Chains A and B, each alone.
Chain A
Amino acid sequence: MKKSIIAAAVLAGGMIMSGQAMAAKTLVYCSEGSPEGFDAALYTSGTTFDASANTMFDGLVNFKVGTTEVVPGVAESWDVSVDGLELTFKLRPGVKFHSTKNFTPTRDLNADDIIFSFKRQMDKENPYYKENNGNFGYWNAMDMSNLINDVVKVDDLTVKFVLDHPEAPIVSNMAMAFASIQSAEYGAQLVASGKLGDLNQKPVGTGPFQFVGYKKDSVIRYAKNTQYWGEQAKIDNLVFSITTDASVRFQKMKAGECHAMPYPNPADIADIRSTDGINMMEQEGLNVGYLAYNTEKDKFKDVRVRKALNYAINKDAIKQVVFNGEASVAKNPIPPTIWSYDQSTVDDAYDVDKAKALLKEAGISGFKTNIWAMPVQRPYNPDAKKMAELIQADWAKIGVDAEIVTFEWGEYLKRSKAGEHDTVLLGWTGDNGDPDNFLRVLLGCAAAKSGDNRARWCNAEFEQELQDALLSTDPEVRTTAYENAQKIFKKEAPWATIAHSTVFMPVSNKVSGYKIDPLGGHFFHNVDLK
C-alpha cells in the first residue's frame, strides 16, 4: 500500500522531468548555505535547521508558522504538574514516520520514539551519544542535562519529563529544532547494521516533507509526505538550491531559477522591491544587534562612561548605512515584537555635547579602546565592519580613539567569550519567543561567568527579576519582572543597543501563502505554487 503511493509520487516526479503536462509542483528555494547534516540536534545553525527540522521533522509541539505561539505537534496535549517538576505529554495516535529508500516503519509513533530522541542526547552510554561524542549543540548550550532528569514512558501514548527545577519556557523549548522527534525503530535498525551515521545523512522524520537526496554543496531534494498527520503540503517537490552569494541569489530569482531566497543584500533591497514578478516580504526580526562594553575592564566600570559612549553613537546613520534604512533602532535588549517589551523606555539619543559633558563629569578626557567587529554576515548585523567604522568615527568626536579588531568567526566567538575585548559587536536571534531566552542567556550572572554575557555584567537586582520570571508561570508576574529588568538595563547600560533588523524574504509572485518566521526559520509546507 505504502509502496505504491511512493511509486506514484516518484512517477509524478519523473514525469515533471520528461516535461509531460502533469501538474506536479516543484518549488525551488535558493538557500544561503550547505546544511551541516540532517540531525538538527547536533547543530545550532539556522541553515541546517531549515534543511532538516523545518522540512522533515516535528517536535512534541511546534510553533505556529509565522508566530512564536506553541501548537500541538506529535503531542495532542500536555500538562505541567503543580510544582512545575513534571511535564506530561499525550501523544497523537496514528502518526507515521517516513518510508524512505532505506527504512520502512513497522509501527506508528509512540513513547519510545520520544524517549529515544531525548535520551540519546543525555545518556552517555547511548550509542548515538558515543557516536557523536556528546556534541549536541543546543542541548549543551541550554544546559538541558541539568534541567531534565529523566524521560519516562507512562504508556504507549504518554510521556513524562521529570525536571530538576521548574522553568517556565520549557514547553516552548520543546518546539525547538533540537527537540525534533526521531524514530527509535530507525535508530535501532542503524545500530544493528552499524551505520549510525545514517541518522544524520539519511534522515527519517514525521514531517510534511521527506528526504529524497542531497548532492553535497549543490542541491537538496524533498518530496511531499503523503501520509502526514497534519495538513499536507500543497507542493509535490521541494528543492533547496545552495547559492552562497547574495547577489547571485538575486540574479537567480530574476532569471526565474528560484522561487524564494533568504538574506538579500541590503543594497539590493530597493532593486528587488521594484522587480516585476518578485514579492518582497518583510517582517521585524526577533533579534537584536548590540555593542557590549566589557564591564570587567576599568575604563568601563563607571556607568557614566558607558552612557557617554552611548550618547555619542549616531544610530540613525548606522541604520541608514548598514541596514539601508531597513531596521528599527533598538532601545531595549529585546525586540518590540516580544511580549513584556517596555514601550516606555527612553533611548540614549544622539547627543555629542551630552556625551562630552558626561565624560568630563566622570573625570575622563579621552582614552583608547577597541571595537571588535565580526567578519561574517549575521541576521542581526549584515556588515559589522561598516558598523564599527561608523562608531569609530562617532567616538573620535568625543576624544575616544577606537581601533577596529577582527578575527575569523570561530576565533572571534572564542576570544570574546574569554573576555579579551574592550567592546564587541554581536547579537542574537530568539530561539523560542520567550524574553528569558534573550535576557538570561545574554545578560545573566551565570552567563557572565561562562562568557556568553559579553558585557561580563552581573547585576544582583537584574538577576533577581530574571529568576522570579523564570520560576513563575503567571504571565503577569513574568511581564512585570521583565519590564523591571529592562529599566535596570537601561540605567546601567552594559550595552549600546543598536538595531533590530528587518527580515526580508524575496518571494516569486507565483508563490502564495509564505509566512515569515520570527525566529528566522524558513518553512514551505503551507505554501502553494501557481
Chain B
Amino acid sequence: MSVEAINNQPKQSALMAVLASFWFEFKQNRGAFYGLVFMGILLVCAVFADVISPYSEIEQYRDALKLPPVWVEGGTWAHIFGTDALGRDMLSRMIHGSRFSFYIGIIVIFICLTVGVMLGLIAAFNKGFIENCIMRLMDIILAFPSLLMALALVAILGPSLLNAMIAIAIVYIPHFVRLTRAQALSELGKDYVSSSKTMGASRSRLMFINVLPNCMAPLIVQATMSFSSAILDAAALGFLGMGAQAPTPEWGTMLADARQYIQSDPWMMGIPGLAILFTVLSINLIGDGLRDALDPKMKTSKT
C-alpha cells in the first residue's frame, strides 16, 4: 500500500469508530430516539410539503368555515384536522407550518453559532480590553429579560418572522459567547495547545483548528436547546403580534390568531399548540440524548 493509504486508513476508521460508538450510546436513549424519529417525519413534511399536503395552505374554502376535526361531531374526512376561520385546511397549514419551525431554529442557531462562537473565541484569545468589551456587552444583553429585549428589538426592526428570528438570535448570543469562551479558556490551558504554540502555530490556526473542535460538544447541546427555545420564543412574539404576518401558516402565529376562538372552536388553538409541544419536546429529547452520548467528553464542562 502507498504511504498515503496507510496514513489515511487509521484516521478514517478512527472517525468511523467514534461515530459508531456515539450512535450506539445515542440509540440507547429511547426518548432521544423517538425524538429523532419525530423530527425526521417533520423534516419530510417540511421538504415535501407541497406534495404531501392535501390542499393549498392559503386557499380559502368559503363554504367550509371553521369545520371541526374529523373526530368531533360535524367534522368530515375531507378536512381531517378541520378548517380555520377563513376556511383554510388545518392539516395543510400544519404541514406547511413545519417549514417555519425549521427556518426559525436553523436561522437562529446559525446566527448564534457564527456570531456567538466568533465573539467567544475572540474574547478567549484576546484577554484584556477586547475581552472586557465583549463580555460587558454580553452582560448588558443578559441584564434584560430576554422576551422584553426581543420585543423591543422586533418593534425597532418591524414585525415580521425574519426580524423576530434576528431578535431572538441576538438575545441568545450571550449564552453562546459565554460557553465558547469558558470552553476555549479551559482548552487553552492544556498541553496540546502550548505545544502547538511552541511549534509556531498562528493564532487563527490555534483558534479554529486546535481549540474550536474541542469546544464543539457543549456547543452542539446548547444549539439544540436553543433550536427548541427559539420556536417557543417565536410563538410568544407571534402571540404579542410581533411575529410572522398573515397569511403565513407559522404555528405560533396560528396560535395567536386562534386565541379568540378558544372557547368556541378550541381545536384551532389545540392542534398548533400540540404540534409545537411535540416538536420542542422531540428536540429537547434529542438534546438530552446528545448530552448523554457526548458525556465522557463533557465531564469537564458544566452547561
Name A's B-contacting residues (CB within 8 A): 245-247, 250-251, 265-268, 270-271, 314, 317, 320-321, 373, 375-376, 383, 385-386, 388-390, 392-393, 404, 406-408
Contact = CB atoms under 8 A, between A and B. Distances in A.
Closest 9 pairs (CB-CB, A-B) = A265-B260, A385-B246, A267-B264, A267-B261, A375-B241, A389-B247, A389-B246, A393-B60, A267-B260
Contacts of B245: 385, 404, 406
Contacts of B288: none
B86 A386 contact: yes
A407 B159 CA distance: 7
A439 B159 CA distance: 32
B85 to A, nearest CB: 6
A268 B242 CA distance: 25
B270 interface: no
A271 B261 CA distance: 11
A271 B85 contact: no
B30 interface: no
Interface in B22-36: none
B262 A247 contact: yes
A268 B86 contact: no
Nearest to A375: B241
Q: Is the interface of B mostly helix, strand, loop or mixed?
A: loop
A408 B159 contact: yes
A267 B264 CA distance: 6
Contacts of A267: 85, 260-261, 263-265
Q: B158, B246, B247 — which one has the most chain A CB atoms within 10 A of its CB?
A: B246
10 contacts: A250-B263, A265-B261, A266-B260, A267-B85, A270-B264, A317-B62, A386-B86, A389-B246, A404-B247, A407-B158
A265 B86 CA distance: 16
Contact of A389 (B86, B242, B263, B264): B86
Contact of B159 (A251, A390, A406): A406
A408 B159 CA distance: 7
Contacts of A246: 260
Given A268-B263, A373-B246, 17 more contacts: A247-B259, A247-B260, A247-B263, A251-B263, A265-B264, A268-B260, A270-B264, A314-B62, A317-B62, A375-B241, A385-B257, A386-B246, A389-B86, A389-B246, A390-B86, A407-B158, A408-B159
B65 interface: yes
Contacts of B58: 393
Contacts of A247: 259-260, 262-263
Interface in B211-269: 241-242, 245-247, 257, 259-265
A499 B264 CA distance: 23
A266 B260 CA distance: 8
A417 B257 CA distance: 27
Contacts of B260: 246-247, 265-268, 383
